[in-house]
Amino acid sequence: MAFNIRADDLVENPTPRVPVSLCIDTSGSMAGEKIRELVAGIGLFYDAIDEDDDAHDSAEVSVVAFNSGAKLVRDFASIEGLQRDITITPSGLTHLGEGVNLALDTLEKRKSLYSDTGVLYFQPWLVLMTDGQPNGDKSELERAIERVTRMVAAKKLTVFPIAIGSDADLAVLARFAPEQPSLRLKGIDFKEFFEWLSKSVAKVSQSMPGGEPSINFSSIRGIEDL
């Protein structure tokens, strides 16, 4: 029988974690090239984390997809522990509020696991990507916005609302992050965004937890500021 000191990667890895929650729109409008590029972008994100010495041991990524409902596609896991292949068939509506709430619930669970086992972590990240107008339950959307803004204000979350294409509802996205400009992807250039994201994760992992990682939005090329 083989025993491995990394049998339980969560507790045997002392590196402080950076939990990153990707909350992505998989409604019908994302079908075609958009979703292919997005999934490819996530794959590239995984690769970049894997290759980076610092991010490798610290990043933990989850993926939540929302359309006519919300689904946890991948729960938080280290780059070695996670299943990288993701297949998504876009369809249905844009239940953005439900998606964000599920992403936050998943994050809360992970945080309590960290706390229970004595694992250190940095301020978690929520990346919210949509190409449309939210049309789920109104109260769910309000609840999601309230939760996110409350956590951001308490420095318990860093949020990146990303608009995909010109139909995305920037006004709603802006409500998630009133203190920072919302970002709109130019075309469907996910590659550059995820490259930037992985570099930022690496940068946070290099620093020591407790500090305020500076995030330089202006360094994102291929994204225009609105």
Partner 1 sequence: MAVRELLDPIDFVGPSGRLFVDTSVFMDDRPDRRGGLKALLQRCGQAILLNSNPIVIPIDVVEELTKQSRKVDPERAEAIRRAGVAVGFIEDAAALGLVRTDIGHDSKHYADSVFEAIFTRYAKQYDMCLLINDITPLLHVRLLSHTSSKMLVAGSLTSDGRIDIESNQVLYERGVRKLRRKQDEGDAREVAALSPLLADFKGQFGTSEPADRRSGLTVLRSPSPASGVRRRAEPFDGEAAFRGADSSLSVGTIPSVGHKVHFTSPSGSGSVVLDELLGEGGEGAAYAVDGDRVVKIFDRDHVTHHRRAKVEQFASRNLFSEGICFPEAVVTNDAGEFVGYMMPRAHGHEFRVIMNPRRFLKAFPGWTKADLVDVCISFLEKVSYLHSLNVIVGDINPKNVIVDASKNVWMIDADSWQVDGYPCPVGTPMFTSASALGRPYAESLRTNEEELFAIATMLFMILITGQFPYARTGSDGDIARLIKDGNFAFQVGERSNRDQPEGNWKYMWSHMPRALKEMFWNTFHRDGQRYTSPPPAEEWLRAFRQYRWWLGSDKNFDPMSNDVYPFRFKAFKPDTPILECSQCHRPHALVGEWDEATQEHSTPEMCFDCRQQNRPKCSDCGTPRPEGALKDGRCRDCNRKRDYGTCERCGTEKPHRYLIGGRCSKCQLGTCKTCKMPVLKSELTYGRCGACERRAKELDPLRLCTDCRQPFIDFEHIEWFKGKGLDVAKSHVAIKKQCPPRTASTRPASAQRPQGVPRASTTTTKQAAPKQSARSQANLWERMKKWWNV
Q: Locate 217 and state its tokens.
A: 């939005």
Q: Does 154 bind partner 1 (CB under 8 A)?
A: no
Residue 12 near partner 1 by CB under 8 A:
yes
H or E stretch covering 48: helix 33-51
Task: Provide, rounded to whole angstroms, the least separation between the CB of residue 117 and partner 1.
Answer: 4
Write the DSSP symbol of residue 223: E
SS3 143: helix
- Are 74 and 122 in contact by the 8 Å Cβ rule? The answer is no
Q: Does 66 bind partner 1 (CB under 8 A)?
A: no
Instruction: Print the binding letters for residues 99-138 with partner 1: x by CB under 8 A, - otherwise.
Output: --x------xx-x--xxxxxxxxx----------------
Query: Shortest distance, CB of residue 137 to partner 1, whole angstroms?
Result: 10
Residues 156-195 that bind partner 1 (CB under 8 A): none
The first and second tokens of residue 30, run together, are 């994302």
**Is there binding between residue 87 and partner 1 (CB under 8 A)?**
no
Per the structure block, which two tokens stand in for 125?
Answer: 């990240």
CA distance 71 to 64: 6
Q: Which residues in this chain contact partner 1 in the complex, by CB under 8 A?
A: 1, 3, 5-6, 8, 11-16, 53, 57, 101, 108-109, 111, 114-122, 139, 143, 147, 208-211
